[in-house]
């Protein structure tokens, strides 16, 4: 049993760890997946769902939560717009007050006169203190969350902000008190205290963090545009049949079994089946296939596709929450929530990051107090700088933003990625194993050539059509389609007899005709020559006359050769795995460029072949579509299923190719490589930034050839914000990746 909850207030990896620890303590919780990017938590329960307990646990951890509800795009944008507007008003007000505060604090040093006598030290300090209090009050949420998590021994980024800002404010109060004490007895000492106040730093820290969080939120919005594009595909209203009339209703109110009407040019709101009329449906939004598909009574249609022409009524088979588009959205969100191996390391570090930083800050203060002859100002500067320069946010965002953008990009191109590990594994893949039928071939036989002479074909073709139209075997349909394409018409054949496993026999104009395999001719004593060409053979004879044979082969998909060639260029081994005989399998492999073949493989043996290849030290991806492929998809490092495949195959796979196009394997590989590189760069930056900035903030380079180098706390807080923003913006570059075949672009 699973439930998704919306969480507000999470800002960094430490927040994620706090929520995760809190929810895991709820009795009956089996698994917890928290997403900083989507601000949500997915909870798997052992038995009974514990909504109230989960929400209470999240609230006690310093955040707020509610049961996640699927929203229309207009609702999502309205809610986000309102949230961003409130944040913007609060931020701009804080910045305006900070400018005034900085004028009061720094004006005299820059030669800018104050409205009062500069010697009125306490006036300036009281004005600074009042302005700082208003700014901190506007941003009180940092302190509420920060101290809540600190007292619960699970500190996060808010804790660093709150402790750093509070420390600066307390020191400001200390300077005001000391200035008051010495103002009348020792003006020089009083002025020294008044000019070394950190009140503006308390406000600056909070404002810079707020600026960073606001810009980061704007950047994160861009990472979600792929999801919003998918949501936007679904119209918010549909024409529903009510009491004999079609009326416009909210699509979310339509239930399974309801009948809706789709007019020409309209978007189809939900998944369903045609019950009357017809349509030419553009499914490119879901499958990537540009050519409209003809839909007639009994055909299935997918929600979010467009009816280009024709009009039809359809019976709804899935509600919006269960629709194909919603399943794609869920896959993208689940992939963003899942974690790659690299992120697990980052999570472990993030879990101890904040308490470690607080400890380092305290240690830095003690060391500098003792080593600087009790220079409190210097020691305090270094301690606060350490608190505000460190950035667990970058660690927490490094993976999910890249995965979210990558999976969204994949969804736009018909490649659905079910988990983040599939991306990292696909990037490292050494071999790709292909099923044959339905994967690199279309799964149905087609006549490629015939050994029958032109005169013989003219004599017998119409009779063959007359026989095979009474045969429901797939080979019969392929043969009839071929002959009709050549312009032949059907002749009426009598005394038709179907012989299972052999073929079909019938009489025309007193002559018996035979259409089937070689064994059929042997059975009736017809003298014939066996055809040696690779493929499936349908022999034609009448009485004692042998006409020849039609040769059928499984049609190779248009992009198969291109796909194999691209994999070979990447030095990735390509393998054909099929239950077909070795001769046919080898012939097909040679045609498309596959060098390694496993043939005559029973369904239960496919997984054994995958394990054998893996045992040689290779990472293996398996591409298949049938029930018999499911075990192989499961044991492979990356299972890739075609969208038209069986549900079992889809459930067993890590990646789904919606359009059944083999070339989408290359798209997935390109995407995996780009996302993995981005994650590595993001994590490198996050570690490098902290490894460089924390020692600098701690004063490690204070005594150096460059002179007395120290990091001002205000600059430190600005750098922290830039670090998080860099990670998000870097992930956005994934959207510019060209996968091939996009917008008419050639591969």
- CA-wise closest residue to 728 among 240, 221, 264: 221
Tokens of residue 633, six digits: 């998809």
Signed CA dihedral, 397, 401, 404, 407: sign only: negative
The catalytic site residues sit at 435
CB 441 within 8 A of CB 589: no
The position carrying tokens 């591409």 is 623
Q: What's the CA gap between 446 and 448, in Å, rounded?
A: 6
Length of the chain: 747
Burial category of 284 from C-beta neighbours within 10 Å (exposed 0-12, middle 13-18, buried 19 and up):
middle
- In DSSP terms, 430 is beta-bridged to none
Q: What's the CA gap between 198 and 386, in Å, rounded?
A: 15
DSSP assignment of 246-302, as one string?
EEEEEGGG--TT-EEEE-TTPBP-S-EEEEEE-EEEE-HHHH---S-EEE-TT-EE-
The position carrying tokens 């991306």 is 423
Tokens of residue 239, six digits: 């024409």
Farthest-apart Cα atoms in the chain, separation: 134
Alpha helices in 622-703 (DSSP H): 630-635, 647-652, 664-697
- In DSSP terms, 515 is beta-bridged to 504, 540
- In DSSP terms, 577 is beta-bridged to 435, 598
Q: What's the CA gap between 294 and 55, in Å, rounded?
A: 48
Q: What's the CA gap between 631 and 394, in Å, rounded?
A: 39
CB 184 within 8 A of CB 694: no
Burial pattern 32-71, b for ≥16 Cβ within 10 A else e, equals bbbbbbbbbbbbebeeeebeeebbebbeebbbebeebeee
DSSP assignment of 544-590, as one string?
TEEEEEEEEEEEEPTTHHHHHHHHHHTT-EEEEE-SS-HHHHHHHHH
CB 277 within 8 A of CB 261: no
Q: What's the CA gap between 611 and 25, in Å, rounded?
A: 38
How remote is the C-alpha of 365 from its chain's centroid?
44
Angle, vertex CA 166, rays to CA 120 and CA 85, nearest 5: 95
Q: What's the CA gap between 212 and 190, in Å, rounded?
A: 36
Tokens of residue 77, six digits: 């944008």
The position carrying tokens 């660690």 is 395
DSSP assignment of 140-186, as one string?
HHHHHHHHHHHHTT---HHHHHHHHHHHHHHHHHHHHHHHHHHTTT-
CB 214 within 8 A of CB 88: yes
Secondary structure (3-state) at 530: coil
Tokens of residue 677, six digits: 């590189």
- CA-wise closest residue to 125 among 186, 166, 178: 178
């Amino acid at each position: 049993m699973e439930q998704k909850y919306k969480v507000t207030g999470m800002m960094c990896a430490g927040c994620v760890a706090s929520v995760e620890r809190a929810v895991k303590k709820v009795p009956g919780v089996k698994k917890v997946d928290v997403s900083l990017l989507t601000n949500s938590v997915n909870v798997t329960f052992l038995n009974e769902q514990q909504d109230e307990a989960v929400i209470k646990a999240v609230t006690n951890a310093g955040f707020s939560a509610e049961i996640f509800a699927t929203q229309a795009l207009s609702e999502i944008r309205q809610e986000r717009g309102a949230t961003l507007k409130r944040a913007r008003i609060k931020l701009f007000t804080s910045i305006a007050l900070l400018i005034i505060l900085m004028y009061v604090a720094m004006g005299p040093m820059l030669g800018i006169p104050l409205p009062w006598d500069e010697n009125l030290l306490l006036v300036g300090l009281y004005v600074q203190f009042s302005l700082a209090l208003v700014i901190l009050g506007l941003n009180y949420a940092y302190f509420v969350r920060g101290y809540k998590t600190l007292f619960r021994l699970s500190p996060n980024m808010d804790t660093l902000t709150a402790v750093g800002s509070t420390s600066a404010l307390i020191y400001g109060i200390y300077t005001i008190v000391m200035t008051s004490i010495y103002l009348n007895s020792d003006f020089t000492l009083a002025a020294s205290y008044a000019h070394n106040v950190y009140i503006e730093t308390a406000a600056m820290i909070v404002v810079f963090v707020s600026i960073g969080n606001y810009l980061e939120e704007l950047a994160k919005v861009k990472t979600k545009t792929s999801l919003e594009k998918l949501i936007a595909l679904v119209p918010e209203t549909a024409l529903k049949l009510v009491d004999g009339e079609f009326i416009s209703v909210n699509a979310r109110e339509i239930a399974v079994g309801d009948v809706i009407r789709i007019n020409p040019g309209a978007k189809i709101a939900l998944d369903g089946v045609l019950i009357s009329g017809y349509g030419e449906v553009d499914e490119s939004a879901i499958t990537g296939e540009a050519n409209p598909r003809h839909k007639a009574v009994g055909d299935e249609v997918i929600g979010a596709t467009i009816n280009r022409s024709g009009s039809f009524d359809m019976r709804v088979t899935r509600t919006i929450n269960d629709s194909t588009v919603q399943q794609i959205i869920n896959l993208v969100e689940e992939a963003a929530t899942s974690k790659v191996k690299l992120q697990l390391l980052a999570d472990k570090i993030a879990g101890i990051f904040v308490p470690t930083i607080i400890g380092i800050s305290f240690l830095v203060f003690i060391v500098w107090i003792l080593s600087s002859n009790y220079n409190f100002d210097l020691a305090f500067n270094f301690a606060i700088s350490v608190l505000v320069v460190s950035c667990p946010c970058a660690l927490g965002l490094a993976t999910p933003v890249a995965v979210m953008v990558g999976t969204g990009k994949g969804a736009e191109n018909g490649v659905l990625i079910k988990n983040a590990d599939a991306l990292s594994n696909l990037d490292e893949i050494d071999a790709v194993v292909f099923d044959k039928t339905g994967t690199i071939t279309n799964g149905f036989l087609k006549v490629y050539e015939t050994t029958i002479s032109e005169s013989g074909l003219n004599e017998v073709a119409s009779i063959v059509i007359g026989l095979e139209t009474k045969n429901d075997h797939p080979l019969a349909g392929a043969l009839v389609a071929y002959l009709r394409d050549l312009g032949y018409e059907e002749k009426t054949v009598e005394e038709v007899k179907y012989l299972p496993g052999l073929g079909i026999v019938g009489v025309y104009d007193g002559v018996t005709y035979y259409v089937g395999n070689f064994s059929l001719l042997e059975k009736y004593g017809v003298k014939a020559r066996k055809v040696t060409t690779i493929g499936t053979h349908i022999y034609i004879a009448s009485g004692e006359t042998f006409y020849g044979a039609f040769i059928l082969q499984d049609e190779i998909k248009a992009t198969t050769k291109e796909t194999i060639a691209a994999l070979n260029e990447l030095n990735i081994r390509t393998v054909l795995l099929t239950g077909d005989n070795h001769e046919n399998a080898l012939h097909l492999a040679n045609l498309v460029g596959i060098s390694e073949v496993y043939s005559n493989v029973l369904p239960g043996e496919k997984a054994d072949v995958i394990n054998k290849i893996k045992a040689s030290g290779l990472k293996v991806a398996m591409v298949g579509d049938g029930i018999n492929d499911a075990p192989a998809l499961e044991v492979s490092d990356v299972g890739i299923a075609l969208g038209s495949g069986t549900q079992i195959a889809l459930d067993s796979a890590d990646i789904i190719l919606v359009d059944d196009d083999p070339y989408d394997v290359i798209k997935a590989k390109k995407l995996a490589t780009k996302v993995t590189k981005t994650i590595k760069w993001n994590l490198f930056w996050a570690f490098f930034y902290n490894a460089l900035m924390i020692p600098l903030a701690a004063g490690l380079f204070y005594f150096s050839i460059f002179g007395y180098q120290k990091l001002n706390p205000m600059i430190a807080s600005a750098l922290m914000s830039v670090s998080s923003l860099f990670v998000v913006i870097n992930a956005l570059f994934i959207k510019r990746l060209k996968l091939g075949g996009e917008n008419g672009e050639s591969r």
